[in-house]
Structure formats: C-alpha cells, structure tokens
Amino acid sequence: MTDEFTTEIYYDENADVSHIEDKTVAVLGYGSQGHAHALNLSDSGVDVLVGLRKSSSSRGAAEDEGLTVTTPAEAAAEADVVMLLVPDTVQPAVYDDIRDGLDAGDTLMFAHGFNIHYGQIEPPEDVDVSMVAPKSPGHLVRRNYEKGEGTPGLLAVYQDTTGEVKQEGLAYAKAIGCTRAGVIETTFREEVETDLFGEQAVLCGGVTEMVKTGFETLVDAGYSPEMAYFECLNELKLIVDLMYEGGHMEMWNSVSDTAEYGGLTRGEEVIDREGMEEILEGVQNGEFAREWISENQAHRPSYKQYRQAEQDHQIEAVGSRLRELFAWEAE
C-alpha cells in the first residue's frame, strides 16, 4: 500500500491571487458559506459584489460589513466570476434570473456540484464552470481565515473555455484561505456522488439511525432512557473527536481493551454493506436526485413527515432534559 496521495493537492505556493485580483466576483447568497466567501475575498483585496433578493433578511448584515449588495441579476451582469452559494433547491431558479448576465469568458462557480451533475443547470458553452468547495461550515472558513489559518477545500473544473479556469479557481481558493490548508483536485461527479453517499450512509443518515436504534434497543430491553441516551448519543462525540484527531487507531488506543475487543469483533454485525452499496447506486444512477427534485416540486410532503417523526422521537425529549444538566449548556 502506497503512502502517496492519489490526487493533486495544492497549497499557497501553487496559487496566484493575481488571476482573480483584476476581476469582479459576485457571491450570490449570504448564508453560512456566502458570508465567509464574500468577507474573505474582500479582505484578500478582491472586488466583491453580494447578490441578494431585495427582500432578503441578510442584506443589512452584508451592508454592515461594508460589502456592496445588489440583486443577483445585477451582480451577475457586472461580475466576471459568479459564485452560486444559495441552497441546491433554489439554484436553478436563481440561475434562470442571472443567465442573461453571463458573458462569454465569464466563470460560473459552485461550492457543490449537484445541479450541474444532475442537469438542473445547463450553462452556456462559452463560459467557464468550476467548483471551489471548502470542506467546513462557513463560520469556520471565516474564523480560520481571520486567525491566519486555512480550511481544506476541493477544486473541480467542469468546463474550461478560456484555458485559465483552473488557475482562477486556485486563486479564488487562496483568497478565501483554502490553499493555506490544502486544496484537493476532484471532479463534479466525484464530489457530488461521494458527498451524497457520505451524508446518507454515514454522516447524517447512518449515524443518526444507528444512535436511535441503539437507544430503542436498550429502552425496549428495560434500561432507563437516560442511560440509553448517554451510551448511544452523548458519548459518541468523545469517540468521534478521537477519530478526527488521530484516526481509528487514536480512538482504539484511548479506549479500554474491553471496548476495543468488543468493537473490533462486533461492529461488523450492525453494518449492512449491501444496503450501503444500494444507496451508492441510487446516487450514481440519479435515482436519489430525481426523488429529491420531485419532493421539492411537490412542496416536500415526505420530508415534513420524516422531520416531524424525528422531532417526536423519545431520544429528543430525553436529550433535551439531560443537556440542561451539562455545565456547557449555560455558557
């Protein structure tokens, strides 16, 4: 097994902000990612416009930071680079509003490739299309930048009409602080499919379902909900922090031998590899994308039911009561 990376990783020395310094960048959206991108770009000396609806509640916050705010259509028409940082479900409608403002040689940029990969946005052939995606919530992108540190990110090129889209993407990544930590080169397809799979099978779907099922198993066996909560949810953070800091072995080295042996010998029994492969297939063949697009077109009836069921689960009520006992709850 090789210790070499299997893809290119770029750092500050590989990126030159001059590729974007003489351009105007429109950041559409001012949420978690939008505010971080806009502020970091501006602090790096880039000419930034923030594109928001006239009724947007974020306009005041952006203006208070000294940023120029206009409508998405006006921002796109004036800019050379347009970064779409509104939610995936809103992007196609926003794109319809800005499409006429995209000139030949402009760049349409994304931080997630869902709408390009699944054909919900079809950009004109004479514009560059790229992705710069920090692998972190926006508040950390901003905080790390202000501390002189960086946030790892991704770079992907979908369409290169000018021959300069990669260098421009690296310049953008440097201006928001990502090349300080490292930018991994990928593709729109790889980013989207691995991201959706990770969310569904592990990070959001798999973990929460495992926690709930473990909680239910203990409660149904007669153990107190409070003990079930501590064992199946509260202590999860301790384990994840250890893995985050030093990988699986850091975690195994930190827990008891009893916990290590039990985990190594029993863990596989609760994992459904076939189920994971089916989830991945549904992402790859577009089944999940079609389902999610249809769900939104129908005003999210299933989404609302699932969300309500999650909110009504016993583990939520138990956790709410127990978290009031924690010292950090009052901080």
Q: Let me know the angle formed at the C-alpha of 130 by 127 and 133, rounded to the nearest 5 degrees.
A: 155
* Nearest one of 315, 322, 308, 323 to 216, comparing CA atoms: 315
Collapse the DSSP code of 75 into the 3-class scheme (helix H, G, I; strand E, B; otherwise coil) and give the result: helix
Tell me the Cα Rg of the chain: 22
Where does the chain show beta strands of DSSP type E? 9-10, 24-28, 47-51, 68-70, 81-84, 107-110, 128-134, 153-159, 183-186
Collapse the DSSP code of 55 into the 3-class scheme (helix H, G, I; strand E, B; otherwise coil) and give the result: coil
Which of 19, 35, 112, 117 is the catalytic position?
112
Residue 121 CB partners (closer than 8 Å, separation 6+): 91, 92, 95, 115
Give the span between the Cα atoms of 307 and 311, in whole angstroms: 6
112 catalytic, yes or no?
A: yes
Transcribe 264-327 into DSSP letters: HHHGGGG--HHHHHHHHHHHHTTHHHHHHHHHHHTT-HHHHHHHHHHHHSHHHHHHHHHHTTSG
Residue type, 126: D
* Nearest one of 53, 101, 54 to 81, comparing CA atoms: 101
CB 62 within 8 A of CB 50: yes
* Nearest one of 93, 174, 87, 171 to 128, comparing CA atoms: 171
Residue type, 53: R
Active site residues: 112
